[in-house]
Amino acid sequence: MKKLTKLAVLLTGAAIGFAAILLVNTGNPANMGICIASFIRDTAGALKLHTAAPVQYVRPEIIGLILGSFAISLATKEFRARGGSSPLTRFVLGALVMIGALVFLGCPLRMVLRMAAGDLNAWIGLVGFVLGIYIGTLFLRRG
């Protein structure tokens, strides 16, 4: 994986922020913009994995992110199919992350957008997010 420059990181952040504004202006809910956890929930509903009618919609953003990421990884020759140890543990942890994201009303990107809009609940989510990263880092260091 190539190291990114500070300029590349800033430009990527600006592009994501602009995309969130554009998505809200073209019809996404005002408190959402870009929220991967909510978009995956909506897509799961469209696949009839749950029955909550208001959130059963195939999100084109998810399809675009997956196809775009795959295409860019092929173009830069960074794609490698690989498996990991204990897939059940990874699956359960991933499910817990998604449930936690939906309990706090969105993914980390949406959390930042909500903080920018003055939502105090997002700050509580930030505390949990930082603690989760800290505890996860401790586990990673111990192996």
Q: What is the pLDDT of residue 141?
A: 87
Q: Is the pLDDT of residue 89 over 80?
A: yes
Q: Is residue 68 part of a domain?
A: yes
Q: What is the pLDDT of residue 75?
A: 93
Residues 23, 9: Cα–Cα separation, whole Å: 21
Tokens of 35: 């929220």
pTM beyond 0.75: the answer is no
Q: Is the pLDDT of residue 33 over 80?
A: no
Q: Is residue 120 part of a domain?
A: yes
Q: Comparing 49 with 109, which gets the higher pLDDT?
A: 49
> Within 10 Å of residue 128's Cβ, how many Cβ atoms?
13
**DSSP class of 77:** T
Distance from the Cα of residue 34 to its chain's centroid: 8
- Residue range 27-47: mean pLDDT, rounded: 82
Exposure of 43 in the CB half-sphere (CA atoms within 13 A): 13
Residues 129, 115: Cα–Cα separation, whole Å: 13
Parent domain of 17 = 6-142
- Report the domain count for the chain: 1
Per-residue pLDDT tens over the stretch 55-68: 888 888 889 989 99
Q: Is residue 84 part of a domain?
A: yes
- Residue range 110-116: mean pLDDT, rounded: 82
Q: Is residue 63 part of a domain?
A: yes
